[in-house]
Amino acid sequence: MPRAARQPRRIQSIEVGFRLIHVLEAAGGKLPLSKIAELAGMPASKAHLYMASFTQLGLVEQDPTTMRYGLGPYALQLGAAAMRQIDVAQVSRDALNSLQTATGHLVFLSIWGNRGPVIISKVDSTVEVLVSVRVGHVLPLYRAATGRVFLAYKSSAAIQHVEQFETETDQATKERAEQSLDLIRQRQLAFSDSQINIGFASISAPIFDYAGEIAAAVTVLGMKNDINLDPLGPTARLVSAAATSISLRLACPPELLRTDFDAIEGLLPINEGRTR
């Protein structure tokens, strides 16, 4: 029989102590020691020793008036340092690969650049796609599903800055795209059908950061006849799940993410901005 993988040695006291930190992380405000100990499942006397050490390190602080405990300034420094070290492309890699494997379609990740949404990584489809999708390509703001995702969540000032590059978009297309934004925010999904390349369709979903701001978008692209554009269908669910998993890796508050497809009723036609 193959030998089981050997587990690395651990310091149990650190893991026990961090049960208290997890309690403070989940709390809506500062808590008394007795409540923290209860939620962590340990005696108050033991919890007090850990809290004294965490307070000395700045990881925890105690209100001198109420004597309640909360996360301290060093916890904020750790969080800020972690956010500075996050590379959204690296964090997204596994989710993009999994999405491509599950759908078979080309998958790409885009962020907001100085000219609009720009592709920073991609995973090629199982079958060759006869359309150019390259890293560094800037996507249209109003005609692409990816562009409309950013249009739905970026500030008006950011949008105005890049509108000067939308020279191929007419006013009617802009108006249709703008009318679709509430639906995109409701779905946390945008769809495109033959709006840029005839015969090609795409589904895109926003990725949010720790502050709930849009950090990137994940998009699947395929032939119109091969990609399932049902807003409640399996491909839409897979795209949404990939975006959710990446958002959680970026510390997005879970309550901001869409989790229940079936609760959304009265969905409008698939292609929010389609020319009729």
Q: Is 138 helix (H, G, I), strand (E, B) or coil?
A: strand
Is the separation of the CB atoms in 76 and 58 below 8 Å? no
- At 23 the pLDDT is 93
Q: Check residue 228 and give its pLDDT.
A: 84
Bridge partners for 116 per DSSP: 113
Tell me the residue ranges of DSSP E strands in 101-173. 106-113, 116-123
* Maximal CA-CA distance, the chain: 70
Spatial separation of the C-alpha atoms in residues 276 and 273, rounded to whole Å: 9
- Is pTM beyond 0.75? Reply is no
- Burial, 54: exposed, middle or buried (Cβ in 10 Å; 0-12, 13-18, 19+)? buried
Sites in the chain below the pLDDT cut of 70: 1-6, 83-85, 129-132, 195, 260-276
Q: How many CB atoms lie within 10 A of CB 95?
A: 21
Residue with the two structure tokens 């998958």? 107
* Domains observed in the chain: 12-84 (1.10.10.10), 86-263 (3.30.450.40)
